[in-house]
Amino acid sequence: MQLRDFDADMFLRDVWQKKPLLIRNPWTVWSNPLDPDELAGLACEEDVEARLITQSRTAWKVEDGPFPETRFGRLNKKPWTLLVQAVDIHVPDVAALIEPFRFIPNWRIDDVMVSYATDGGGVGPHFDQYDVFLIQGLGKRRWQVGAACDFASELQPHDDLRLLAKFEAINEWILEPGDILYVPPRVAHNGIALGDDCMTYSIGFRAPSRGELIAHWCDHLLEEIQDDDRYADAHLQAQDNPGEISATAIAGLHEMITEKMLDRKAFARWFGQYNSMRKYPETDCQIDEPLQVEDVRACLDRHIPLCRNPASRFSFIRQGAHAVLLFVDGECFECNPDIAPFAEQLCVQGRFMVDADLGKLDSGIALITKLLNQGSLAFEEEEE
């Protein structure tokens, strides 16, 4: 899927994280990739995160899935919205919506949330902490965009929704199938379904907070620090006042922390693993019977294509001129120059044939075997 007359470089320079942008149907051919009934079916499954938002004149109510199949038939005529997270993991045609936006690095992409709303439905005026492309899939939705918000923006009292107490629209558009609205972080917006059968695909991007990074990086460091790694002052000198914490002591204590905290190589490896963890790590994707190297060689000899697990996350960091660290689902793989090109290929293609030369390398076969056994890769099923 490609976007017509869309200049990615111009978008990144002039629009990205700077201002909202309406993009009128830029697709060569637009076709809604998911039927509303299929979305409702996903919301009934145990391993799918879904929410149902119903609204009245005085209140908003949120229910968490999974939902019984009879739930949607019992909804009254009041506006309601169904939100289903990470639909790209379950529906390849929805995952394909991400491809035109790959000019944003993979590590920033979160998932595709799909919403279905009846006439007047929505989630209320709010702001997100991340960038989002809102693609209208079916029906029409009125989008109102307001001013930038921050931590001091007043919110309505609600346990489950972060609704703005005050919202004033600056711009307003009606989106029809295929139209896209880009909204930067912290910009207030409000979407209202116009008529029934309104579907919107929200491609969201991860933006780790400073606090999140510090907390998780510190947790990682604490796991590795030994209890006997302690402050020492073998060159201590007598002080005029024993109550003083000297500048020398402060410098030594501070260095104990910064020496670990500022280790850039260690941070890069940790972040690659942390950021590549699956959105739903509790889902076990490992295969029942681990493959052996000989099994993998046999499949490669038959030229069976490899496919990435749509739930898996792949990224890499360069190590010098030719080697890379490959990160897949929270695991780190050191790739020498012989297999580094393959590691980079893994991060950009969802389906591919393995080069014959790679199949002759023990290190390449070992990497593929590990990724197959942890469920990150799979051989494409052969037709009968």
State pLDDT tens for residues 241-282.
999 999 999 999 999 999 999 999 999 999 999 999 998 877
Query: What 3-state class would DSSP assign to 98?
Result: helix
Taking residues 217-225, what's their average pLDDT?
95
| Phi then psi dihedrals of residue 10, to 5 deg | -65, -40
Which residues contact residue 243 at a Cβ distance below 8 angstroms, ignoring those fewer than 6 apart? none
Amino acid letter, 59: A
CATH 3.40.366.30 region(s) of the chain? Answer: 293-379
DSSP state of 176: -
How sure is the predictor about 324, in pLDDT bands with cuts at 50, 70 and 90?
very high
Tell the burial category of 181 from Cβ atoms under 10 Å away from its Cβ (0-12, 13-18, 19+): buried
Query: What 3-state class would DSSP assign to 335?
Result: strand
Distance in Å from the first CA to the final CA of the chain: 29
Name the maximum alpha-carbon separation found in the chain: 88
**What is the percent of the chain with per-residue pLDDT over 70, rounded to a whole number?**
98
Instruction: State pLDDT tens for residues 98-139.
Output: 999 999 999 999 999 999 999 999 999 999 999 999 999 999
Lookup: tokens for 371: 């990724």
Distance of CA 170 to the CA centre of its chain: 29
Q: Which CATH number fits domain 8-205: 2.40.110.10, 3.40.1260.10, 3.30.365.10, 2.60.120.650?
A: 2.60.120.650
| Residue 384 confidence (pLDDT) above 50 | no
The contacts found for 257-261 with CB under 8 angstroms, 24 or more apart, are: 260/221, 260/225, 261/217, 261/218, 261/221
| Phi then psi dihedrals of residue 299, to 5 deg | -65, -40
The order of strands in the sheet holding 314-319 is 314-319, 323-328, 331-335
pLDDT at 284: 65
Cross-strand partners of 322: none
In angstroms, the Cα distances linking 17 to 24, 69, 100, 182, 209 are 19, 40, 18, 9, 15
What CATH number was assigned to the domain covering residues 293-379? 3.40.366.30
DSSP string, 30-73: ----S-HHHHHHHHTSTTS-EEEEEE-SS-EEEEES---TTTGG
Query: What 3-state class would DSSP assign to 317?
Result: strand
CATH 2.60.120.650 region(s) of the chain? Answer: 8-205
Distance CA 248, CA 238 (A): 12
In angstroms, the Cα distances linking 208 to 28, 106, 115 are 34, 14, 24
Instruction: State pLDDT tens for residues 53-105.
Output: 998 877 899 999 999 999 998 898 899 999 999 999 999 999 999 999 999 99
Distance CA 137, CA 32 (A): 5
DSSP string, 218-246: HHHHHHH--TT-----TT----S-TT---
pLDDT at 5: 92
